[in-house]
A and B are shown apart, each in its own frame.
Chain A
Amino acid sequence: AQKITQTQPGMFVQEKEAVTLDCTYDTSDPSYGLFWYKQPSSGEMIFLIYQGSYDQQNATEGRYSLNFQKARKSANLVISASQLGDSAMYFCAMRDPNTGFQKLVFGTGTRLLVSP
């Protein structure tokens, strides 16, 4: 069963605008962790932001924020004031509590292109 779903293969945004990248997840366990990673063309995976299932507030890290809607099982990434350097693949990931040692599983990714 697909644990992490990213339905947007690609997104376009103009520089300085905000963009939301969608992520839904599937788990029946009340305790889990959600992550977003950025993968530029160089290939490395860069950690952006983390949200714990028991966290009362939505996570924020600079221009990144996570719109966490627990009842809908969604954890959308919001990038404010987009920059050209934000063009990359973005992956949503979850520590799957239903697996031993909380396997870290990834979605299929969304390619973001920021235009001038």
Chain B
Amino acid sequence: EAGVAQSPRYKIIEKRQSVAFWCNPISGHATLYWYQQILGQGPKLLIQFQNNGVVDDSQLPKDRFSAERLKGVDSTLKIQPAKLEDSAVYLCASSLAWVNTEAFFGQGTRLTVV
């Protein structure tokens, strides 16, 4: 079974530029998550989708971050414009359901904003 795919693996941009990350979850997984992991910290949930609907985006900085999951499969996360403090690893995860099932993670995208 293929795992969660993310691209790109690494990205370096200048502040105020825009960037987009892509995630393809495990086939059949209804729940998709985007996490931000700043160096030395645990992952922080940015947004959670159930199929193609947003069920939690309470910690998403909506003035600069946006995410979508068209057709309830793959998803993109965009930052525009980027700030220095957005430097982090962005992890995408998916799970079969949102009730007491584990989430499977992709390898992440390491973003450096200079």
Binding site for B on A (CB under 8 A): 4, 32-33, 35, 37, 42-47, 50, 52, 91, 95, 99-109
Interface residues of B in 31-66 (CB under 8 A from A): 31, 33, 35, 41-45, 48, 50, 55-56
Q: Give complex CA distance A4, B41 in Å.
A: 13
Q: How many A-B residue pairs have CB under 8 A?
A: 63
Q: How many residues of B contact A (CB 8 A)?
A: 28
Binding site for A on B (CB under 8 A): 31, 33, 35, 41-45, 48, 50, 55-56, 89, 91, 93, 95, 98-108, 110
**Which chain B residues border A109 with CB–CB below 8 Å?**
41-42
Contact of A95 among B41, B56, B99 (CB under 8 A): B99
CB of B100 within 8 A of CB of A103, answer no
